[in-house]
Amino acid sequence: MRKINCIGVLTSGGDAPGMNAAIRAVTRTALFNHMQVKGIYHGYHGLINDEVFEFRSENVSNIIQRGGTILKTARCPEFRDYEGRRRAYDMLRKEKIDALVVIGGNGTFSGAREFGDEFDFPIVGVPGTIDNDLYGTDSTIGYDTALNTIVRAVDQIKDTAESHERLFLIEVMGRDAGFLALNGALATGSEAAVIPEIATSEDLLEHLIQNGFRKRKKSSIVLVSESDATGGAQGVAKRLRENGYEPHVTILGHVQRGGTPTASDRVLACRTGVAAVDALLEGQRGCMIGIKDDQIVYVPFSEAIKGEKPLDHHLIDILRVLCI
């Protein structure tokens, strides 16, 4: 195993609250272990284009509580091609970076896997995405904060929904995963969640909504994942309007990405950030650092990204029981 003298760290894909806490953890753990640290700006784009700066401890002072990412993030189509990854490798050699920690989601880890395999380069991932769609870790950095943001927004919409006795469809993020919509619905006492994993028939949705109004509920709220599989809130609204309903649609959008990370996300970021550097020092590579049943686990990239993170179907039963 080659000695690691310098670690590079980057954030990539969608930003998530808690990424800064992870950057801080990676930086300080590497410095603690007498290694050099280099912050790479704008994800893989910055790696290809040499946006690389040496980090000292003070570069990550006072960021643990800040949303977004001080390293910025970007989508980088060039990294999908071999030629782009080759340029990234040349840049790593020029900067004398011996190992890489990438903080991001599915796409980030797909790129990391290809890159690590092609160039035999030590690279580990820290799960940072609000969608919570990475297999092998109970949660991802940013998910808890986004969920709490959704809960606050839905609580506020509920006030107006109650006053006007209206049906609201609220669209939340989660293109391929319903964790935000389902747990958001549970935490706000909503009528139902329309999520990509489970087809919800129009009949069932109408039944749930009707059931609510029949029980003299003053309002009805349904959370919908933004996804091709659900048609999003506008798609569900269109179908309900054809059946005589008058739903109001709110799309929460990017408000879900920002804000101060919760304590839970900060702790997750600290633990996985420290473990990422420890893993590299142990000779681990090609894996995501997860936490399963409160234990640090190394999940091969190929497993983390396979998109089969199971959603607890029992939660849907609970939702139906609690909204009667």
Catalytic residue among 15, 98, 131, 144: 131
User: Interaction with ligand ATP in 1-20: which residues (CB under 6 A)?
Assistant: 12-14
Please indicate whether residue 131 is annotated as part of the active site: yes
Whole-number Å distance between alpha carbons of 216 and 205 = 17
271 lies in the binding site for ligand ATP (CB under 6 A): no
CA-nearest of 70, 5, 65 to 31 is: 5
Point out which span in 102-110, 193-201, 280-288, 296-304 binds ligand ATP (CB under 6 A). Answer: 102-110
Interface map 45-84 toward ligand ATP (x if CB under 6 A): ------------------------------xx--xx----
DSSP secondary structure code for residue 21 in this structure: H
Question: Which of these ranges, 109-117, 143-151, 179-187, 196-204, lies near ligand ATP under the rule CB under 6 A?
Answer: 109-117
User: For residue 222, what are the β-bridge partners?
Assistant: 169, 192
Q: Which of 110, 200, 260, 302 binds ligand ATP (CB under 6 A)?
A: 110
Number of other CB atoms surrounding residue 58 within 10 Å:
7
Burial of 159 (0-12, 13-18, 19+ CB in 10 A): exposed
Measured between alpha carbons, how far is 197 from 194 in angstroms, rounded to an integer?
9
Binding test (CB under 6 A) with ligand ATP, winner from 8, 67, 68, 104:
104
- Mapped onto helix, strand or coil, the DSSP state of residue 62 is coil
Q: Does 107 bind ligand ATP (CB under 6 A)?
A: yes
Q: Tokens 């640090």 label which residue?
A: 296
Q: How far apart (Å, rounded) are the C-alpha atoms in residues 225 and 133? A: 13
Q: Tell me: does residue 106 bind ligand ATP (CB under 6 A).
A: yes
| Count of chain residues binding ligand ATP (CB under 6 A) | 18
**Structure-token pair, residue 68:** 């977004």
Q: Is 196 in the site for ligand ATP (CB under 6 A)?
A: no
Closest approach of ligand ATP to the CB of residue 73, in Å: 8
The minimum distance between CB 189 and ligand ATP, in angstroms, equals 28
| 144 makes contact with ligand ATP (CB under 6 A) | no
Nearest by Cα to 133 from 142, 120, 122, 123: 142
| Residue 95 contacts ligand ATP per CB under 6 A | no
User: How is residue 95 written in tokens?
Assistant: 């900067």
Cα Dmax for the chain:
69
The region of 19-27, 89-97, 103-111, 244-252 touching ligand ATP under the rule CB under 6 A is 103-111
Residue 181's H or E segment, with its range, is helix 179-188
Interface with ligand ATP, residue 44, by CB under 6 A: yes
Residues that bind ligand ATP in the complex, under the rule CB under 6 A: 12-14, 44, 75-76, 79-80, 104-108, 110-111, 114, 129, 131
Please list the active-site residues.
Answer: 131
